[in-house]
Amino acid sequence: MHTIPDIVFAMQTFTDSVHTALQLITSLEPALLSIVGRSLSVSATACALACGLGLVLGAWLGVARFAGRDAVLTVLNTLLAVPSVVVGLVVYLLLSRTGPLGHLGWLFSFKAMVLAQALLVLPVVTALTRQAVEDAERSNGEQLRSLGASPLFRSLLLAWDERYALLTVLIASFGRAISEVGAVMVVGGNIDGFTRVMTTAIALETSKGDLPLALALGLILLGVVLLLNAVVSLLKRWRERADGNVGIQLPLQGAL
């Protein structure tokens, strides 16, 4: 049972840690900025790669009808629930010295972390894009088909009409990537100055007892997530205004 002095000491330690963490942030500590910059770079690069492919695949799946589509969607939805550490393990095996991609020499590098996060985010972008485009297809697909639009052209038009929703998907995918820890820990190795990112550094510094640095990184990560949520809220408002002012009929008819 904790005594009052123990509780007071714990609160004082926590307060001191928060104060030191804020000092690290406001003083722009170089080591802190290096970790934050690397984390943002890895996640941004991974999202750019995953979103470029995921948007195209998702838009096509939203309008395409073919044998085995249900099986493909089942696999896609299953990939959404795959733990990040499993993705990291798969990438590790691919990039290991005896793996099929071992000749690239990417293991424990920036490129390995980008690959792991891209594979982790790709199913999220593809599934959410597919759902958005398929919903739009149910509402406007018949009109587009009557105008002679091919499936590919139809998917592009519907994706453009759902651009605000897809921007939200991109932001959500970045949030998923930057908050991930398992995959980058496995394939990056958490090497100081090379592959250490915010999430892996928080785990390491907490285990070492360096709470101020862990708290500083945690506060910055929370700030990034808060900013992403704020942007998503703004996009939702813009989408509601756009939906209220612009219909799909004129742009689509003009394009056709």
Q: Where are the beta strands (DSSP E) in 50-142?
A: none
Low-confidence stretches of the chain (pLDDT beneath 50): 1-2, 4-10, 247-256
Q: Give the CA radius of gyration of the chain.
A: 23
pTM value is 0.84
Contact 188, 33 (CB under 8 A): no
Residue 44 has a CB neighbour count (10 Å cut-off) of 15
Q: How far apart are CA 4 and CA 228, in angstroms?
A: 40
Question: What is 4-255's CATH topology?
Answer: MetI-like fold (1.10.3720)
Q: What is the pLDDT of residue 244?
A: 66
Q: What is the pLDDT of residue 245?
A: 62
Q: What is the pLDDT of residue 211?
A: 86
Q: What is the pLDDT of residue 210?
A: 81
Q: How far apart are CA 50 and CA 35, in angstroms?
A: 22
Candidates 35, 59, 199; CA nearest to 136 is 59
Q: Write the CB contacts of 226 (distance below 8 Å, at least 6 apart in sequence).
A: none
Amino acid residing at 76: L
